Amino acid sequence: MTRAAPHVTHEVLNQVPPLAGYDVADDPALLEAVQRETGLGAGDELHQLGQRAGSAQTQELARLANEHPPVLRTHDARGNRIDEVEFHPAWHELMATAVGHGLHAAPWPDGAPGAHLTRAAEFYVWAQAEAGHGCPISMTYAAVPALRHEPRLAERFEPLLASRAYDPGLRVPDGKAGLLAGMAMTEKQGGSDVRANATRAVPAGDGYQLTGHKWFCSAPMCDLFLVLAQAPEGLSCFLLPRVLPDGTRNSMRLQRLKDKLGNRSNASSEVEYDGAFAWLVGEPGRGVTTIIDMVSATRLDCVLGSAAAMRQACVTAIHYASIRRAFGARLAAQPLMASVLADLALESQAATTLAMRLAGAADRAARGDAGELALLRLVLPAAKYWVCKRTPMVVGEALECLGGNGYVEESGLPRLYRDAPLNSVWEGSGNVTALDVLRALARSPGSGDALLAEIDLAADGDRRLDAFAARLRRELKEAVAAGAEAQYRARRLAGLVAVTLQASLLVRHAPGAVADAFCASRLDPGAADSGPGAPFGTLPDGLDLRPIVARSAPATDCG
């Protein structure tokens, strides 16, 4: 009797091996920025973290943390409230790595030049492992400058916030090996408009009792939260512990977790405070002034996180197109695909360069540099607006470079795509950050001068940039003169600020091919059918694309 041959329908050909086992930190735009900003090369720790972020094991942790999202356990079996959030072990492993590398508050007590910049570079690298757990990491980092408004509390909690021990679980904060901090500002009736907060704060003992709700409180398993509430003197900032010093749970009830578009590994909750105890931070009635320091630091992380998402999308697309063949050639060698990849690479490199320039400014501002503080005041909201808005477009286009495979979960791009809009939504949505650029111009006149002085460092480097800088100078002046009427064009102005600064940084620091292509496609009035408004892959003719794409290729690429 003859046996049937094994059921073989096809051989697997022309499929691309996954991009794994590479050093995420092997990123020229990043490494050159670290060198520039610190005067030193990147340390071993950055590359160790990069290897870890690009490993197959970490990619698996990221998958598990997102496919097994957190679960809220409001009550125990006997009906007692417990308000616990349960996470998959993969989440805890990602968190332990982030905290172990000091991506949360570790640079604050250090204070050495470059400590915040190094942390920013590491955050950018590790964000490419998994974005969701970056939320409590960023909030913990950002909580410290706000907490310092109350030196007594900062002295007590800052060493624990800065500790490199990841110590999850509901216990008295003072007794833990390490702490995490969250923030609760948004309420049902108002998020951007925080002055609409309705939570009441009544003096009680050495603190206040808070009663009200919060509509978005991410990472509710944190140990401490900065919360806004209405004290008798007006809107004030408070520090609310989840567990009270006597070991009992604070009256902070988790009502439910949000069912979100992306960011699924992270928990975002709705919270009720029923006479919850909290300490005042900063002056009563000056809550916005106090918490704004936290908002600035999280905005920087939004820019870094979005630049990281662009970079991740870009390397994935370049890796794929360097191997996959169609119509007799590798995709990357097809002229139109080369234009798409180069355009994505330009956007990604410009975002990384701008993000790291801001991280350098934040590092120096933390040590008292007033000029850098003025620059940040204007450029940070502009960059948050622009870089975060560009991210979903970059990720969507990168996804398409993989064809149908890019639309499939295993490619990693659907998760990146779902996560991509988030940084634009929170900590000041697009309109709010664009309007903040106008506010900075009106209230901090030195910020416009700081921006123009920075751009002028590239004067005479490229005629298109010079023309754009002159236009920016004019429009800044007009915006100041127009007052509230400038609101209508705030997005245009914020975009102009970000793109002109990106171009000036690239003209000064990037290889000639990159700077030339960026100016030709983003600034040249003759390139009306390319530029930021057009889809990617519409670069003008005559550009040298190979070095642009090579600069964004992952180090393992077989291309």
Ligand X SMILES: Cc1cc2nc3c(=O)[nH]c(=O)nc-3n(C[C@H](O)[C@H](O)[C@H](O)COP(=O)(O)OP(=O)(O)OC[C@H]3O[C@@H](n4cnc5c(N)ncnc54)[C@H](O)[C@@H]3O)c2cc1C
Rule CB under 6 A: which residues touch ligand X?
182-186, 190-193, 216-218, 260, 263, 268, 422, 425-427, 429-432
* 120 or 185: CB nearest ligand X: 185
Q: Tokens 């009680």: give the residue.
A: 204
User: CA distances (Å), 456 to each of 80, 383, 460, 473, in order?
Assistant: 63, 18, 9, 11
* 136 or 537: CB nearest ligand X: 136
- Token representation of residue 523: 């600034």
- 325 strand-pairing partners: 330
Q: What 3-state class would DSSP assign to 407?
A: helix
* 105 or 548: CB nearest ligand X: 105
**Centroid of chain to Cα 25:** 17
- 212 strand-pairing partners: 273
CA dist., res. 41 & res. 38, Å (int): 8
Closest distance to ligand X from the beta carbon of 181 (Å): 11
- Vertex 346 angle, CA 345 and 351, to 5°: 100
* 108 or 216: CB nearest ligand X: 216
CA dist., res. 354 & res. 174, Å (int): 38
CA dist., res. 253 & res. 213, Å (int): 9
Closest distance to ligand X from the beta carbon of 490 (Å): 8
- Within 10 A of 204 (CB to CB), how many other CB atoms are there? 12
Closest distance to ligand X from the beta carbon of 143 (Å): 11
CA dist., res. 502 & res. 479, Å (int): 21
Closest distance to ligand X from the beta carbon of 189 (Å): 8
* 108 or 426: CB nearest ligand X: 426
Closest distance to ligand X from the beta carbon of 36 (Å): 32
Backbone angles phi, psi at 28, to 5 degrees: -55, -40
Closest residue (Cβ) to ligand X?
Answer: 191
CA dist., res. 143 & res. 294, Å (int): 5
* 317 or 497: CB nearest ligand X: 497
**Centroid of chain to Cα 69:** 21
Closest distance to ligand X from the beta carbon of 381 (Å): 12
* 170 or 432: CB nearest ligand X: 432
* 190 or 532: CB nearest ligand X: 190
* 186 or 552: CB nearest ligand X: 186
CA dist., res. 408 & res. 402, Å (int): 10
Q: Which residues does 451 contact at the CB level (< 8 Å), separation at least 6?
A: 375, 378, 379, 476, 497, 501
Instruction: From 314, 299, 431, select the one nearest 354 (Cα to Cα).
Output: 299
Q: Tokens 């330009």: give the residue.
A: 346
Closest distance to ligand X from the beta carbon of 66 (Å): 14
Closest distance to ligand X from the beta carbon of 382 (Å): 15
Closest distance to ligand X from the beta carbon of 466 (Å): 33
